[in-house]
Amino acid sequence: MSFARSSTRRSSGFVLKLRHVLWVTACLGIVHAVQGATVTYTMQTGNFNSLQTERNNNPPYAGTYNNSATELANYANNGSFGNTPGAAAFQTFTTTGNGTSGTTRALQVGDTFTITAYVGSNPSAGGRIGISFRDSTTYTNFASSTDAATEARFQIDNTGNWKVYGNSTVESGSGSGADRTFVIKITSDTTFDAQVGGTWYYNNTMAASGGTIDSFAIYTFGDSNPNSFWKNASLSDTGSVEVGYALASGSYTPGVISDGLAANSTSTSRANTLNVGGDAGSQVSLNKNNTYTGATTINANATAEAQHANALGTTAAGTTVSNGGALKLYNATGISYASEALTLNGTGVNTANGSLRSVGGNNTWNGAITLNSNSRINADNSSGSAASSLAIAGNVGGGSNVLFLGANGANISISGAISGAGNTQSSTTTSLFKDGANTLTLSGNNTYTGDTRVTAGTLTVASGGNLGSGSDVFVSSGATLNINTNTTVASLQETGSSNGGVVAIGNGAVLTVNGADKGTLFQNSISGAGGLTMAGSGTTLLSLYGTQSFSGATTVSGGKISTAVAMSTSGVTVSGGTFETSAANILGDSASVSVSSGTYTLGGNDTVGSFTISGGTLGGSSTLTTSTYALNGGTVSANLGAGTLNVGGSATLNGTAGATTVNVNSGTLTLGGSNRLSTSAAAAVSGTLALGANSQTLTALTGNGTVSTTSGGALTLNIASGTNTFGGALTGAGGLTKSGSGRLVLSGTNTLSGTTTISAGELAVNGSLSGGVTVNSSTTLSGTGTIGGATTISGTHTPGASPGLQTFSNGLTYNASSVLVWELSSNTNTVGNRGVLFDGIDVTGGDLTIANGASIELDFTAALSNGTPSSVTWFDSFWDSNRSWTIIDKSGAGSSTGVFTITDISTALGGWAYNTVRPNSSFTINNSGGDIVLNWNTATAIPEPSSALLALVAGCGLCLRRRRN
C-alpha cells in the first residue's frame, strides 16, 4: 500500500470473513494465525526510535527495525488474556519524526507493513494479536471507543471472541466459531482506526508517486503457497478511497485515484469509490485525471475542489454531496466537466457558499443534477481568475425542494430543464430562488411548478427558456427579471419596498401573466422594448406602479391590468379581461388602443394615437382623445374627444363623442343618449345611425345609409349654408327638424313617421317622406318626391326642382301667410309637360285646404333642372289664346277648399312684363272641382315687333335670365 506524506486520505484493507480461522488484512498486509508471530515493517528512509513489547505488565522488551526487512517476534500462547504468563504481547509503534535516518519518522510514500499472529507451538483456529499505533497527540479509535491510556488495543482469543486491552470497547458478537469481520484503516500519517462489524474498504492505488501494490498473500498454518488454504472464507470486495478525514484546515492535493486490483490479481480491476471528509475550513483539491469508476461522496463539513475534467473519475456512478458538504469547481482556463450525475443535499459547508460552487474559470457542468433536499448552487470569483462563470447543461430535478442559485461575482447559466414542485420559502411554495449580485440565465424548457423568487442581481430568461409551469414570480427591490424570449408566468409580484425591482422585457419578447385567481400588486418597474400580456382568469390582477417604461405592446385577454402610472407602451389591446387606468395621461400620444372584447376602463382623460373598438366596452366617465376613432363594434361608455369617428360595425355610443366628422361606413352606431355625437358633427352614413328615443343634432348628413329613431327620438339637421343631400333613409317613429339657413335634400325613401319640421332654411323632398311636414314661416319646402303625412305650410312652397311635380298623399294645408311659387319654363300648357316644364302638385289623399291670405307667385324665369334657361316670352303666339294649367290636382278622399291669391307675376324672357307686352290680358286662379287651376285670359293680339327689336329683346333676356335650382 502506498501512502503520501502528510496524507489526509483514508486507505482501507480487504475484508475477510472466516470460520474457525481468522485472517485479517491491514492495509493490504496480512494478519493470520500461523506458527510464529511476526511483524514486518519496511521503510524507505529513516528509523523508528522505539520498538516495545510487553508481557504480563512487565517492562517492554526492546526490538529492532531496519530499513530493509525487520521482523519482530511476539510471544503468544493459548492462555487467557491478562496478567497470566503467555498472554499476547502488544507492540507499540511511535511514528512521529522528521523522516531522516536515525530519528523518529512518519509513514512515507512506499512504506508497507505486514503483521502475523503467533499462537504457540501448535496451530489453532484462533490466535491473538494486538496492535497500537499512536503519537503524542493523536490516538486510535477502536469501535468508536478509546483506551484511557490513549491506546486502543485488541486481540482475538481461541474461541473467536474479541478482547480489548484497558478500557477500550468493541462492537461485535462473540461465541466459538462465529464469523468475524476485522478491519484496520489508516486515517492519517499518525493515526490508525480499528473497526469491527460491517463491510469496510480498500484501495490499491493512491498517490501518483507512491507506486502500486501488485499482489498480496495469505499464509495459513505455515503453508508456503500463498493461496493454498481458503477454508470457509469469503471476501468482501467493495473498494473505497477516503481522503481529507483528518484535515482540520488548509488544503490537500492527492495524486491520481484509479480503480484497484481484485484480490490475488495483478490485472483484474475492481471499482473504487471516493469518500471525501474533513472539517469545515479544509479542502481536498482533485486536480488529476482520475479513472476510478465508483461513486464519489463528499461528506458533511468536507469540501472537494474539482480542478480537472475527470477529477471525479468516470461518470458511471455519479457524485453525491452530503448535507453540509460542498463540491467546488475551479480551473483558471475553465473546465467542461464530464456528464456525471450529481446529487446535492443542502446549501454547502455554510449556508451561503453552496453545495455546488464554481469559484474560478468559465466552468461547465454537463451532467444531470438531482436535489435531495433544499440545495444551493453558487458561482463567484473567490479564486481571482480573469474570468469566472458556471454553465449547467444537464437537467436539474428539484423534487419537492428549493433550488437556491447565488451568482456572487460570477454568472450562472442553465440550459438544462429545471423540474420539481418546490418547497415552502417565504410563505409560498418556491422552486427557484435567485440571489447574489450577478446574472442567472435560464435557456431550458423548465417544468417546475413552484414560485420563482429574484431577491438580488438579474435573472434572465433567454431563447428557449421559461420560468416553469404556472410559476408565480417575485422580484424584490433592487433585483431584475430580464425577459428575452416569450415567457409565461402565473403572476408578477414584488417583495420589499415599493418601486423596487425591475422587469426588463427584451425587443420582440412578450411576458404573459396567465394565473387563475391571483390577486397581485406589482410596484416594480417594467422596462425594455418587449410587450406585456395579461391572460389570467378570475380575480387575477396586475396592478402596475413604479416606472412603466417598456415600449412594446400591452395586451389583455383575461384577468385585469390596473395602472395609476404613465406607460410608454406602444399600445393597449383588450381582447378579454380588463385594462383599467386610474389617472390621467396614462398612455403616450402615439399609443394605439384596440378593444375587441373585455373592457378598457378610462379613469382619467387621455390622448392616444388611435382608438379602435370592435367589441367589448370602453368604460369610464373620462375622455379619450385621438385623431381617428374606429367604432367597429362594442360599446363606448366613456367620452371621445375631437377628431374623426369612423364606424365599421355595430357599436354603441353611451358616452359623448367630440368628433366633428362621423363616418358610419357600415354596421350600426347606436346612440345611448341624446347628443352623444357632437352637435357640430357632420355625419356620413352608409350603415345605420340609430338614435332610438334620443335627440341628436348634426350639421350635415350625407350618404346612402339609414338614420333610425323610435318614438320620442328626434334628429335635427342644422344645415348652416349650401345644399346638403342625404340619399339614405330616415326611419322610425321619431321626428326630423331642419334648421339652419342651408338647403337639405332628402332623395331617398324615408319612412320616418314622426313630424318633420322646417324651422329654418329649405327642405327638398326629392324621394319620399312618410311622416307629416310642418313648414314654418320664412322657411321653404320644395322637391319632386312624395310626402305621406299631413303637411302644413306657413312658409314658402316651391314644388319640383325648377320645375317639377310633388305629391302629398295625406292632405295639404296652406296657412294664411304661406306662399306657393309656381314655375313655368316654356310656352306650353300641355298636360304631358306638367312636372317637366311647369310645376304641378298632386294631393292624392286627405284634405286640400287653402286659407284666406295664402298667395301664389308665378315665376316664368326658372331654368330647367338640367340648366336649360326658361324660354317663356310674351311675344310667342302661344299667348295669343286663352290657356290653363292645373297647379294642384286633387284626387282621392278629402275635401278641397280655398284658392290662392296671385300676388306676384315675374317677368318673362327679356324682362318684359306680361301686361306690358299684352295689355288687358290677365292671369286668374280658381278651384275647379277641387283642383286649383291657373288661367290665362288673353286680349287682342299685338303686332309682331321688328326684327331689330326682337334682337334687342333677346339680348336683354340673355342678360337677365335667372335659374332656380
Determine the residue type at 451: D
Burial class (CB in 10 A: 0-12, 13-18, 19+), 175: exposed
Calculate Rg over the CA atoms of the chain: 56
pTM: 0.69
Answer for the pair 773, 791: CB distance below 8 angstroms, yes or no.
Answer: yes
Residue 136 neighbours by CB under 8 Å, 6+ apart? 96
Q: What are phi and psi of 106, to 5 degrees?
A: -95, 165
Report d(CA 732, CA 747) in Å as an integer.
Answer: 17
Report d(CA 307, CA 333) in Å as an integer.
Answer: 10
Beta bridge partners of 423: 430
- For strand 239-243 and strand 272-276, is the pairing parallel, antiparallel, or unpaired? parallel
Transcribe 777-835 into DSSP letters: TT-EEEESSEE-S-EEESSEEEEBSSS-EEEESS-EEE-TT-EEEEEB-SS---GGGBT
Number of helices (H) and strands (E) in the chain: give both, helices first.
Answer: 2, 91
Which pLDDT does position 163 carry in this prediction? 38
Residue 480 neighbours by CB under 8 Å, 6+ apart? 454, 457, 458, 459, 501, 502, 503, 504
Half-sphere exposure of 216 (CA within 13 A, CB side): 27
Which pLDDT does position 252 carry in this prediction? 66
Cell of 146: 478509546
With a cut of 70, list the residues of the chain below it in pLDDT: 1-248, 252, 254-272, 351-352, 495-500, 521, 940-965
Q: What are phi and psi of 916, to 5 degrees?
A: -85, -45
Sequence ranges of the domains in the chain: 1-243, 772-946
Which pLDDT does position 183 carry in this prediction? 32
Which residue is associated with the grid cell 486510535?
A: 140
- For strand 428-435 and strand 423-425, is the pairing parallel, antiparallel, or unpaired? antiparallel
Which pLDDT does position 500 carry in this prediction? 67
DSSP three-state, residue 346? strand
Answer for the pair 770, 750: CB distance below 8 angstroms, yes or no.
Answer: yes
Which pLDDT does position 280 carry in this prediction? 77
Q: Which residues of 871-899 are buried (b: 16+ CB within 10 A; e: fewer)?
A: bbbbbeebbeeebebbbbbbeeebebebb
Residue 397: which of 424, 426, 440, 432 has the closest Cα? Answer: 432
Answer for the pair 744, 726: CB distance below 8 angstroms, yes or no.
Answer: yes
Report d(CA 65, CA 788) in Å as an integer.
Answer: 141
Q: Which helix (H) or strand (E) holds 579?
A: strand 571-581
Residue 784: which of 770, 798, 794 has the closest Cα? Answer: 798
Residue 710 neighbours by CB under 8 Å, 6+ apart? 691, 692, 693, 732, 733, 734
Residue 430 neighbours by CB under 8 Å, 6+ apart? 402, 422, 423, 424, 450, 451, 452, 453
DSSP three-state, residue 547? coil
DSSP three-state, residue 534? strand
DSSP three-state, residue 54? coil
Secondary structure percentages of the chain, helix, strand, coil, to 5: 5, 45, 55
Answer for the pair 523, 494: CB distance below 8 angstroms, yes or no.
Answer: yes
